[in-house]
Amino acid sequence: MSYRHPDREQLRIDEVLTALGNPVRLEAVRILNGGGDHNCSMLQTEVGIASKSTMTHHWRVLRESGIIWQRPSGRETALTLRREDLDARYPGLLDSILTGRAIDAAGEPGA
C-alpha cells in the first residue's frame, strides 16, 4: 500500500490550517515535532484516542494537507513531520502555531 502525498508546491494554507485546527491532530504534530519516527499505533496511544478509524481519518487529513509523511513500515505505517517542507513553504507558520498551542496549554486549569 502506498499513500498519496502532495508536493511542497501543492500545499495550500487553508488546508494546512484546517488540518491543524483540531486538538488531536495538533497534539500529534507536537509529538512528531519532537523528532524521530513514530508508527500509527504508538502515536495513537500517545494522543489518547481509542478508535483506530478516528485516527486513520486524522492521519489522512494530516497527510493530504502535506503536514506528515505516512509510509508503510512492516505491518504498521510510519509517520514523520514534513517540517522542512512546511518551513520552506510557510516560513514561521508551524513555529507560531506550536507556540500558540503551548500558550493555550499554559493558561488551562492544572497547567
Which of 45, 51, 56, 96 contacts a second copy by CB under 8 A?
96
Task: Considering the complex, state which of residue 14 and residue 84 has its C-beta at the smaller distance from a second copy.
Answer: 14
b/e map 55-81, b = 16+ CB within 10 Å: beebbebbbbbbbbbbbeeeeebbbeb
User: Alpha-carbon distance 101 to 70, whole Å?
Assistant: 23
> Is 87 one of the binding residues for a second copy (CB under 8 A)?
no
Q: Which three cell numbers stand for residue 21?
A: 485546527
> Is 84 one of the binding residues for a second copy (CB under 8 A)?
no
Binding site for a second copy (CB under 8 A): 9, 11-23, 26, 89-93, 95-97, 99-101, 103-104, 107
